């Protein structure tokens, strides 16, 4: 990363997700690596704060 990522806000509210938007100046060759690093760091930050990340879930009931 050439600079610290900038948080732009909530991009979307989905069924099981809140999509956050960030921008960051990076080398073109590093776009995907930086995205993975940013996702990893955000996940660790949420875990540290006790925030659980949503995941799709299906409940099946049989009679």
- Average pLDDT of adjacent 10-residue blocks, the chain of 63 residues: 90 86 91 93 93 79 86
pLDDT more than 70, % of the chain: 98
pLDDT at 50: 94
Other beta carbons within 10 angstroms of residue 30's beta carbon come to 13
Containing 35, the helix (H) or strand (E) segment is: helix 31-49
Report residue 46 as tokens.
Answer: 């949420």
pLDDT at 31: 92
Q: How many CA atoms lie within 13 A of 47 on its CB side?
A: 6
b/e sequence 3-14, b meaning 16+ C-beta within 10 Å: eebeeeeeeeee
pLDDT in tens, 32-47: 999 999 999 999 999 9
Q: What is the pTM of this model?
A: 0.70
pLDDT at 2: 85
């Amino acid at each position: 990363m050439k600079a610290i990522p900038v948080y732009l806000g909530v991009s979307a509210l989905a069924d099981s997700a809140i999509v956050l938007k960030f921008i960051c100046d990076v080398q073109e060759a590093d776009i995907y690596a930086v995205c993975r690093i940013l996702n990893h760091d955000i996940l660790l930050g949420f875990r540290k704060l006790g925030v659980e990340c949503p995941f799709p879930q299906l409940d099946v009931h049989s009679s």
